[in-house]
Structure 1
Amino acid sequence: MAITYELVKTVTAQLYDRSLRGIPEDTKAALQRADAAESNETARHTLRIMLRSADAAQRSSQFICSDAGVPVFFVRVGTQAQFSGNVRQAIADGFD
């Protein structure tokens, strides 16, 4: 069975949304360690803002940042995968 344009578009949209609303626990832990180790007060303040933003986004289901930047996806495709439709366009349309 071929992987459809609609499936690629839907999954892309879901992954993008998920990436904007939370950070992985290991990333959060790394930010906390950086905050604890940082001696520069301005840098510590910035790290704390990042942590508070991540917590607020998780609690309210809002985006972590209003400027999401440019998404980059690395897609691995097996040699037996079959697609129906334009995969690149489906990924691009998943951001609309």
Structure 2
Amino acid sequence: MKTVNAQTITETIAHLCIDANRNLPKDVAAALHQAEENEPFAPAKDLLSLLTKNEQIARTTQMPICQDTGMAVVFADVGQDVHIAGDFAEAVNEGVRRGYVEGLLRKSVVGDPLRRVNTGDNTPAVLHTRLVPGDTLTLTVAPKGFGSENMSQLRMLTPASGIDGVKRFVLDTVRAA
């Protein structure tokens, strides 16, 4: 049985929070650059150019890629033969806390959605844990921005609304944004 200290988890999560907000994965950055090169439509090419320039600036200055540094979503694959010395969830949240404070990342998480009081450190994280065979622990941090929630809407349509009802709802929602 392999033992992983909670402090190691905290330090790793803090590093991953900062890195995920400053550096796109290489395959994603390459795909953006490739899309820019291959895009024939000028307005779309201009937009992709802005995204690739932003990625380069963030990487070279080690500033966040986006001002919305999001809520930390942590994926943990925990081996069946791994013993965690300490409280796993608390270690993850302490790592998020340290990463967002030390990395000077924007704190935008509220503790109680009805009271809307900012936690000041972007905790709690959303933690997805999966038990897997073996003696390894794999941690991935994916910041989830909140922009898409700003103007999202939900509506229950009757079957009689049909495709036209769906189209009307989508267009009305876009216009309201």
TM-score bracket, shorter-length normalisation? 0.7 to 0.9
Name the amino acid aligned to 2:75.
Answer: F
TM-score (norm. length: structure 2): 0.49
Instruction: Give the structure with the higher percent strand.
Output: 2
Pairing of 1:1-96 with structure 2 (within 5 A): 2-96=3-97
Paired residue total: 96
Percent of aligned positions that are identical: 25
Partner of 2:82, secondary structure, is: coil
RMSD: 1.6
**Mean alpha-carbon deviation: is it higher for 25-34 or for 35-44?**
35-44
The 1-side partners of 2:90 and 2:41 are apart by 45
- For residue 23 of structure 1, report the CA deviation from its aligned partner: 1.3
Structure 2 gaps of 5+ residues are 98-177
Segments of 4+ moved more than 6 angstroms: none
Structure scoring higher RCO (CA < 8 A, sep ≥ 6) equals 1
Partner of 1:67, secondary structure, is: coil
Name the amino acid aligned to 1:31.
Answer: L
The 2-side partners of 1:47 and 1:73 are apart by 28
